[in-house]
Structure 1
Amino acid sequence: MHRRAAVFVLASLLAGCHACSRGDSERAVPSSSPLAQSSSPLAQSSPASSSLGPEGGAPEPAHAVAPVPGGMTDRVLRNRFAYIPSQCYTKTQDGTGSRAKNPCYACHVRAEPPNFVEDEELQLRWSFPPAAAANPWTNLFDPPYLRAARDSDEDVLAYVRQRNYVDARGAIPLARTLATLPREWDGAGDGKWDGYVPDAWFAFDEQGFDHRPDGSPTGWRAFAYHPFLGTFFPTNGSWGDVLVRLDPMLREDREGHPDLRIYDVNLAIVEALVSRTDVPVDPVDEIALGVDLDLNGTLGRATRIAFDREMLAGAAPGSRTERMHYVGRAGEEERKGRFPIAAGLFPLNTEFLHSVRYLDIAPDGSVTMAPRMKELRYAKKVRWFGYAHLKRQAASDLVEQNESPDGALPVIWQFDRGVYNEQGWLLQGFIEAADGSLRPQSYEETVYCAGCHGEIGRTTDSMFSFARKLGQKSPARGWFHWSQRGLRGLPEPRGRDGQYEYTRYLRENGAGDELRENTEVLQRFFDDRGALRPNELTRVHQDMAHLLVPSAVRALDLNRAYRAIVREQSFTRGRNAVLAPSTHVYAKAPIGDKTGIESPVDDRRRTSSSPPGPSGMKP
């Protein structure tokens, strides 16, 4: 995969952003191996797949606070192109004369407005700036995994089962440390942390709502989604989850009192706006809310939130009579012109929380999400931009790229607030320190994360996951956390064109990961001629975990590979958990050359677990 240097652009002044944030070795598994048996003593000792972790959490730290490599005040980027991820250096041709492989289409497509980025041409040509040709992700070629001492299976499992987010006393150590901000983490030098302070407890009810230890709601709600192509397949190293939280106004009735039913309805409205489909809800009294939710022209009992396709016409919100409205206090503010609503855009002050985790082994030998976090990523929409502004922004980014002396574009860091992506979002992250605790990311580490949430064709309002949320036929309509139910038994998503999404990725990419180094997937799904095995695909159609989840042996090795990077703290040299030197990746990209892909894959669609109905709608 490759990506233009203008994936992520920041041109705002530091003071302006400050103000807006305030206001607004792969190996076969012998049959004699204990890990090949579901009755393995190792497997039996692991927690149930629905558990987030063992009885104890992270121990109380008896050491100095974890340092941030480079320091939180260091504003110098050693790698000015850190926003171009490692996957973008993957070779599309293998020199055998076979058809070019295309992992690029996963990110670079003709977008759907109000995403006005049309970067599908990046599937066809290597378009990096010349200065970005040298691949900076050297951990791909010299994996720390191969230099590290090999931990035993027992040690690996004990490590990933120890929670590093909540401690043994039930507190959040990271939040406690941020409250008494150590000098090592004080990037702004003002003695206080101005960014996000972790406040989710990962204690979910049957509807996916998170609760504090005293039982009160945090506002966070977990949702299940189709993991994004490649990197976010657990078989490639990590298992991720996502939580969403809306502005307090969207959680309150007209008088400003917290109301869970109002919140549930507003979340469904946001889902309809982002997914561009109707969303089913439990029966709602439209008369009490004063909103025609199903758009049938009368107020009664609605069982769905109807999506108004006319909203996509491109008119600025407020320039005509909108038919879709939020309910409760947000609806009142919307009608006064103080809280915009628009198709394809999240409401102001929407927050996302995304943990990236190690892999665990359940009692039955299956691979599940581990309690230990590798990263905790956070995003908040702090400014509202309408369609016209977003369209102008997409055009101006190309101009700025051309005017940059070496093609590198400025990514301005807000210290504890993270980085701002010029589309209204602040992006921030915490990552695992050498001792296993969570620490703030450095400037360069944050730039790496921000790249994919800048301007690429695939995202919906800068985000990936919510548009991929599981739908009405899924358990709890998709409102659950992976600790409550895993991937097993969930069908493979299909696009509006009826094609199976993951099958298409295997076919176009010729592999199950962007780097094309996952030999387990290659051996299972491709024959000696490189053709896909129909029987394996049939299993994936019914159970996407057959592709997405690795074997226990691979999972343990992936854990070892990432832990070796953690011990070195070498994230700026690459954070992919690779088990051998990468052979399908360029050390120096052939800038300007054609990729060998003859025509771009037109993959502009929302995925679905059901066959498409009329006009791309779910039946």
Structure 2
Amino acid sequence: MTRAMLRAALVAVVVSMAATGDAANDKPGEGQDLTSPVPGNPFAFIPPQCYTRTRTDGEVHNPCYTCHVRSTAPNYVNDGDLQTLYDFPDPALQNRWTNMFVDRRPAISAMSDAAIMEYVRFDNYHDGEGKSELAARLRRPPAGWDINGDGVWSGFVPDIAFNFDSEGYDVTPDGERTGWRAYGYIPLPGSFLPANGSADDVMIRLPAAFREREDGATDWSVYGVNLAIVEALIKRADVPIPPTDEAALGVDLDRDGKLGTATRIAYAFDPRNGITMSYVGKARLDLEAGRLHLAAGLFPEGTEFSHSLRYLDVSKDGIVGPAPRLKELRYARKLGWRTYSSLLDQAMNDLREEHDNPDEPEAFAGDVESGIATGTGWRYQGFIEDAAGSLRPQTYEESLTCAGCHAGTGRPTDTIFSYPRKVDAPANGWFHWGADYRLGDLPDPKRPDGAGRYATYLERNHGSDEFRANREAIDRFFPGGKSDEAAIEALATHIGAMTDPSPRRAIDLNKAYRLIVEEQSFDKGRNATIAPMDDIIWRKVKPGTATGIEQPAD
């Protein structure tokens, strides 16, 4: 992987079955051949955000620092310099995300508000028994999904019930916990905010050993402690936990020198001086036996994440939140352990590859069934809507978009963005978004310098998204082109003014994305854009173009 590339039912509008590529098939999308390993855009891992114009009307904007920063080991991408230069391989200077230049306003106006809201309120994940319809289809994959023709789906089969209890645990219709646990987190500012198109949620699942006592019996309190230990290692900080009997676990969790009652996981990791941490339960035994590993900034092998992107619903009282319909279901699994030294060696190899083959696209290993291998021990896979709104596997090219951000930038921790940004409160952060827990009700998290992270983004970028296309946010925080300090300061207690769109904008964003789904034009960009962006995104970048950002920011 080169460094340059690393940086880098209810459908109200009738959709022709021919749009799915199989007019005779009564399962929309199953006639599509998704198995091609040759991407039309071999640089699809460079997202549209990287083509934004950072200089407009004599003013310099910096949305780049959200991803490209001086990294913390064992993330060795260390790409803060990309804030200052459009450092693309020559073939990627041409922006292939042409959906960003489409004027969708006439089609949006022609689409009924009632029709789109009926569409987004339909649950396209569950069947009539509350189980995953997609999982049932994958058990006998259509020929166009089965890359080796063996009749078996070799990738992730969704087993999430999307039914969460009071502790954030996912529960099946039979009342069994699946091991998935939802958590609240503060998204990176920019395109992932609901105000810019999609609501989302994230769940984590650790391997079975983390859910078991030393005798092998399932124990959810053990699992909760292990999740907190992993959180402490990822955040490199202490993490609060419910009062826990350390003697029963045999581990001094709060590192006070005795086995008492702990209310926090104390972070400490300095192996050169003999300072490390431990899991609890069966995971502790597996750690001691070398079957599992532990290090600051790294998840244990076998860790899984699932991430749903959803349309936006609007309640009767005008509150915008996640809709039942999924746009995408994304999945990541850590297949093996990589040490600090092996990750550093790979980063050095990437630099050598960039020098030797600066304009060659990275040949990420993977396919439609297995997803994309990042080269860092992780594999990413996704499912996305077909033309009629049912979920289908992403193509190899569609999955490339995951690899660039997760494995090719300096911001994430062990390729993951969300868990380092998990909140501690309410409910210790273990909840699924809903009426009781709303993203907009959370406070702006603080940077090390004490400033709010969202407030800092507004100060540096002068808008709430990378493209500065959200006029609602610009008018709210920069009326007349000047900062409204009171509006920005109010984010300290509630970030809703930045995260939540108006009902009108939410409905229009739903329509814009639905049009892309009907076209199945994800290879041209999947951002929910309303108006063309010729004046704020480059169609083609000249070699050596500077961004105007003189000093990289953290």
Asked if Structure 1 and Structure 2 have the same fold, meaning a TM-score greater than 0.5 normalized by the shorter chain, the answer is yes
**Relative to structure 1, is the Cα distance of residues 68 and 239 closer, same or farther in structure 2, using a 3 angstrom cutoff?**
farther
What residue in structure 2 maps to residue 93 of structure 1?
A: 55
Q: Is the 8 A contact 1:145 1:564 kept in 2?
A: no
Question: 235, 250, 261: which one pairs with 1:301?
Answer: 261
Q: Is the 8 A contact 1:4 1:128 kept in 2?
A: no
C-alpha distance in structure 2 between counterparts of 1:68 and 1:107, whole Å = 37
1:527 CA drift (Å): 2.5
C-alpha distance in structure 1 between counterparts of 2:302 and 2:453, whole Å = 31
Amino acid at match of 1:485: Y
1:406 CA drift (Å): 2.4
Amino acid at match of 1:81: F
**Relative to structure 1, is the Cα distance of residues 309 and 340 closer, same or farther in structure 2, using a 3 angstrom cutoff?**
closer
What residue in structure 2 maps to residue 209 of structure 1?
A: 169
Q: Is the 8 A contact 1:224 1:479 kept in 2?
A: yes
Mapping of residues 528-543 of structure 1, within 5 Å: 528=480, 530-543=481-494
Q: Is the 8 A contact 2:141 2:152 kept in 1?
A: yes
What residue in structure 2 maps to residue 349 of structure 1?
A: 302
1:284 CA drift (Å): 1.4
Q: Is the 8 A contact 1:358 1:374 kept in 2?
A: yes
CA distances 1:253-300 after superposition (whole Å, capped 9, x unpaired):
111111101100000101100111111111211111111111112222
What residue in structure 2 maps to residue 114 of structure 1?
A: 74
C-alpha distance in structure 2 between counterparts of 1:310 and 1:393, whole Å = 23
What residue in structure 2 maps to residue 18 of structure 1?
A: none
Mapping of residues 218-229 of structure 1, within 5 Å: 218-229=178-189
- After alignment, is 400-409 or 361-370 more displaced? 400-409
Determine if the alignment matches structure 1 residue 460 to structure 2 residue 413. yes
Q: Is the 8 A contact 1:144 1:565 kept in 2?
A: no
Q: Is the 8 A contact 1:241 1:356 kept in 2?
A: yes
C-alpha distance in structure 1 between counterparts of 2:404 and 2:463, whole Å = 23
C-alpha distance in structure 1 between counterparts of 2:402 and 2:502, whole Å = 28
CA distances 1:107-136 after superposition (whole Å, capped 9, x unpaired):
000011111221000011111011110000
- The CA RMSD measured in Å over matched residues stands at 1.8
C-alpha distance in structure 2 between counterparts of 1:397 and 1:185, whole Å = 32
Determine if the alignment matches structure 1 residue 368 to structure 2 residue 328. no
Mapping of residues 376-387 of structure 1, within 5 Å: 376-387=329-340
C-alpha distance in structure 1 between counterparts of 2:318 and 2:532, whole Å = 28
Mapping of residues 141-220 of structure 1, within 5 Å: 141-144=101-104, 146-147=106-107, 150-220=110-180
Determine if the alignment matches structure 1 residue 563 to structure 2 residue 514. yes
1:78 CA drift (Å): 1.1
C-alpha distance in structure 2 between counterparts of 1:228 and 1:488, whole Å = 14
C-alpha distance in structure 1 between counterparts of 2:362 and 2:130, whole Å = 43
Amino acid at match of 2:406: H
C-alpha distance in structure 2 between counterparts of 1:543 and 1:323, whole Å = 37
What residue in structure 2 maps to residue 255 of structure 1?
A: 215
Determine if the alignment matches structure 1 residue 396 to structure 2 residue 349. yes
What residue in structure 2 maps to residue 548 of structure 1?
A: 499
C-alpha distance in structure 2 between counterparts of 1:157 and 1:178, whole Å = 28
What residue in structure 2 maps to residue 598 of structure 1?
A: 550
Q: Is the 8 A contact 2:269 2:295 kept in 1?
A: no
What residue in structure 2 maps to residue 431 of structure 1?
A: 384
SS in 2 for 1:370: strand
Determine if the alignment matches structure 1 residue 585 to structure 2 residue 502. no
C-alpha distance in structure 2 between counterparts of 1:401 and 1:281, whole Å = 45
C-alpha distance in structure 1 between counterparts of 2:230 and 2:148, whole Å = 35
C-alpha distance in structure 2 between counterparts of 1:306 and 1:589, whole Å = 48
CA distances 1:591-615 after superposition (whole Å, capped 9, x unpaired):
21221111111x2xxxxxxxxxxxx
SS in 2 for 1:343: coil
1:143 CA drift (Å): 4.2
Q: Is the 8 A contact 1:254 1:332 kept in 2?
A: yes
1:167 CA drift (Å): 2.2
C-alpha distance in structure 1 between counterparts of 2:531 and 2:318, whole Å = 25
CA distances 1:135-184 after superposition (whole Å, capped 9, x unpaired):
00000112455456722111111111000001233221100000111112
Identity of aligned residues (%): 47
SS in 2 for 1:184: coil
Question: 496, 499, 506: which one pairs with 2:451?
Answer: 499
C-alpha distance in structure 2 between counterparts of 1:209 and 1:145, whole Å = 41
What residue in structure 1 maps to residue 469 of structure 2?
A: 517
C-alpha distance in structure 2 between counterparts of 1:249 and 1:359, whole Å = 37
Q: How many aligned positions are there?
A: 536
Question: 239, 264, 279: which one pairs with 2:239?
Answer: 279
C-alpha distance in structure 2 between counterparts of 1:522 and 1:282, whole Å = 42
CA distances 1:347-380 after superposition (whole Å, capped 9, x unpaired):
1100000000000011211111111000000000
1:62 CA drift (Å): 8.2
SS in 1 for 2:344: helix
Question: 31, 38, 43: which one pairs with 1:76?
Answer: 38
What residue in structure 2 maps to residue 51 of structure 1?
A: none
1:469 CA drift (Å): 0.3
C-alpha distance in structure 1 between counterparts of 2:474 and 2:7, whole Å = 32
What residue in structure 2 maps to residue 63 of structure 1?
A: 26
Amino acid at match of 2:472: E
Question: 122, 126, 133: which one pairs with 2:93?
Answer: 133
TM-score normalised according to structure 1 size = 0.84
- After alignment, is 405-414 or 392-401 more displaced? 405-414
SS in 2 for 1:376: strand
**Relative to structure 1, is the Cα distance of residues 197 and 516 closer, same or farther in structure 2, using a 3 angstrom cutoff?**
same
C-alpha distance in structure 2 between counterparts of 1:131 and 1:147, whole Å = 33
**Relative to structure 1, is the Cα distance of residues 400 and 143 closer, same or farther in structure 2, using a 3 angstrom cutoff?**
farther
1:97 CA drift (Å): 2.2
